[in-house]
Amino acid sequence: MSRKILFPRHQHIYKGNLHSHTTRSDGYYDLETVIEGYKKNNYQFICISDHHNYYKSDIEDNETFIILDGMEGGVGHSRYHIHAIADYSVDVEKRIVPDQFYDIDLEQRPHQTITEYADQGNICILNHPRWSSLAYEELVNTDGYIGVEIYNTGCDLEDATGYSVDYWDYALKKGKRLYGFASDDAHGNDMNCKVSAYFGGWICVASDRLGQIDIVNSIKEGDFYASTGPIIKKIEMTEDEVFVTTNEVKSISFITYPEHGLKIYDKDNKNITSASLKVEKDTKYLRIEVVDSNHKIAWSNPIFFDKEKNIT
């Protein structure tokens, strides 16, 4: 039976961090140091997401390294942080002016801020919901964003609020179609330490080329996975079975809803590199978690099914 490729759907895989701070807001390192740090650690793209300070890159699309334009904005009096990343595939009347403080209306609600960013040509991501002390329902009741930060290195090391997969699953079970992102959100001076808020969480995006429009379009399509270490090489599906191929890892889990999923591992504690799962007829969504010998994790994006088991 033929298999349909769900990931990657594009030719190349590029590693990137979407959440970076510099001295332009409250980061310790200047812009050039942050850029060079990620280049040296084999990233192909980053987004400079300083607080209320939109960054416009002058690096042209190339096959080595690019910067996505964007910023991290707050919402009114709340602890919501909304990540805005430029989407140049859409035409808009005006865009956010770079290198100027972006003032916010303290009376705005989250969906109003998201709409404001989207109207100016941005995709939006909800950052670190556990650090923000959000209620699960707040993710469900807010619209217009494409995904949520499920891992944040800085929040994890600073105050153990970096993991938000439970928020993601709650929203998915309630019918939200959200992608999962891992990022750094590093602010401090530990770039060269062995345990650092830098280089701990990233996404790997499938794209035909390394360009702002290409990377953002692939993100909008969900053609990426999030990771703190493991590599997801391929996800495929037949009519009723999902297959995944990875680097050498300790376990591969299929998280499904509403029924329980399945965890695959070797009982002699040997590494594995592949797994599969028959999809039950009532499955609404399925996602994959991969864990390696260092307890690092990779997360696929959800696969959504309709009643006839078509991928939607």
Residue 3 domain-assigned (yes or no): no
**How confident is the model at residue 263, as a pLDDT?**
98
Residue 4 domain-assigned (yes or no): no
**How confident is the model at residue 12, as a pLDDT?**
97
Residues 107 and 204 in one domain: yes
Residues 174 and 282 in one domain: no
Residues 76 and 178 in one domain: yes
Residues 16 and 157 in one domain: yes
Residues 49 and 72: beta-carbon distance below 8 Å: yes
For the cut 80, the answer to whether the pLDDT of residue 296 exceeds it is yes
In the predicted model, what is the mean pLDDT of residues 250-279? 97
**232-237, strands of its sheet edge to edge:** 4-7, 232-237, 241-249, 272-278
**How confident is the model at residue 73, as a pLDDT?**
92
Q: Which residues pair with 83 in a beta bridge?
A: 72, 125
Residue 289 domain-assigned (yes or no): yes
Residue 113 domain-assigned (yes or no): yes
Residues 81 and 171 in one domain: yes
Give the integer Cα–Cα distance in Å for 48 and 68. 7
- Which pLDDT tens digit goes with each residue over 28-54? 999 999 999 999 999 999 999 999 999
For the cut 90, the answer to whether the pLDDT of residue 123 exceeds it is yes
Residues 252 and 209 in one domain: no
Residues 97 and 15 in one domain: yes
Nearest in space to 14 (alpha carbons), one of 215, 169, 196, 152: 215
Structural domains of the chain, count: 2
Query: What CATH number did the domain enclosing 112 receive?
Result: 3.20.20.140
**How confident is the model at residue 195, as a pLDDT?**
95
Residues 55 and 128 in one domain: yes
Structure tokens at 198: 């830098």
Residue 197 domain-assigned (yes or no): yes
Considering the chain, what percentage of its residues have pLDDT values greater than 90? 88
- Distinct helix (H) and strand (E) counts, the chain: 6, 19
**DSSP letter at 10?**
S
For the cut 90, the answer to whether the pLDDT of residue 307 exceeds it is no
**DSSP letter at 61?**
P
Residue 242 domain-assigned (yes or no): yes
- Which pLDDT tens digit goes with each residue over 142-201? 999 999 999 999 999 999 999 999 999 999 999 999 999 999 999 999 999 999 999 999
Name residues whose C-beta falls within 8 Å of residue 204's C-beta, 6 or more positions apart in sequence. 13, 14, 15, 16, 224, 225, 227, 231, 232
**How confident is the model at residue 250, as a pLDDT?**
98
Q: Looking at 209, 228, 247, which one is the last position of a domain?
A: 228
**How confident is the model at residue 308, as a pLDDT?**
53
Query: What CATH number did the domain enclosing 240 receive?
Result: 2.60.40
Residues 204 and 218 in one domain: yes
Residues of the domain holding 17: 10-228
For the cut 70, the answer to whether the pLDDT of residue 214 exceeds it is yes
Residues 251 and 290 in one domain: yes
For the cut 80, the answer to whether the pLDDT of residue 309 exceeds it is no
Residues 162 and 179: beta-carbon distance below 8 Å: no
Q: Determine the 3-state secondary structure of 251 from DSSP.
A: strand
For the cut 90, the answer to whether the pLDDT of residue 140 exceeds it is yes
75 confidence band (pLDDT: 50, 70, 90): confident
Structure tokens at 134: 């959000």
106 confidence band (pLDDT: 50, 70, 90): confident
Nearest in space to 290 (alpha carbons), one of 213, 233, 218, 240: 233
Residues 192 and 271 in one domain: no
In the predicted model, what is the mean pLDDT of residues 247-258? 98
1 confidence band (pLDDT: 50, 70, 90): confident
Residues 142 and 240 in one domain: no
Residues 167 and 155: beta-carbon distance below 8 Å: no
**How confident is the model at residue 100, as a pLDDT?**
87
